[in-house]
Amino acid sequence: MTIKQVKEFFIDKEYAPCPLTEKLVKAGYQQVSGGYIDRAKWRRVRVNYKENSPSQYWHLMTYCDSRNPEKPFSTSVICGELIFWMAEASGVVETSELERMVNRIVESADYSRGNRPVYDRRKWNREIYNLCFDKIMHLTM
């Protein structure tokens, strides 16, 4: 899928109910810095995982807008919360599979370093990617 195709597919999904993504992000599974978090701060978009902000819809649209629309949607996109949202918003992965995944991730939270939970993002991003990415990329093919 090209970036343009991804954007066109998801453009009307801003208000799609995604309670599992919301649960994931509100549990603290959100990048702390870099990528879309830095872009949000630069654009003065509120960054607060407890409010699920910025939204993953915003994340995807700003990503797509910053890239050549004719290029393939990159397999190097590894942000777990984005891929998870794309899977939930599109319905391409069974809700029960996403629910099991989010519960496993939330249960793995490490609170030993303060109030904000810490996750093994490398591990969980890879698991989310493996479960969801190929299914997402076959949406319009």
CA distance 33 to 115: 17
Q: What is the pLDDT of residue 139?
A: 81
Average pLDDT of the chain is: 94
Q: What is the pLDDT of residue 140?
A: 56
Return the SS3 of 82.
helix
* Phi, psi dihedrals of residue 55, rounded to the nearest 5°: -70, 160
The residues, ordered by sequence, that sit 6+ positions from 50 with a Cβ below 8 Å of its Cβ are: 26
The residue among 57 and 74 whose pLDDT is bigger is 57
Per residue in 83-92, pLDDT (tens digit) is 999 999 999 9
For residue 136, give both structure tokens.
């997402």
Q: Using the predicted structure, report yes or no on whether residue 141 has a pLDDT greater than 70.
A: no
Across the range 34-63, mean pLDDT stands at 95
Per residue in 21-45, pLDDT (tens digit) is 999 999 999 998 888 999 999 999 9
Across the range 128-135, mean pLDDT stands at 96
For residue 108, give both structure tokens.
């793995």
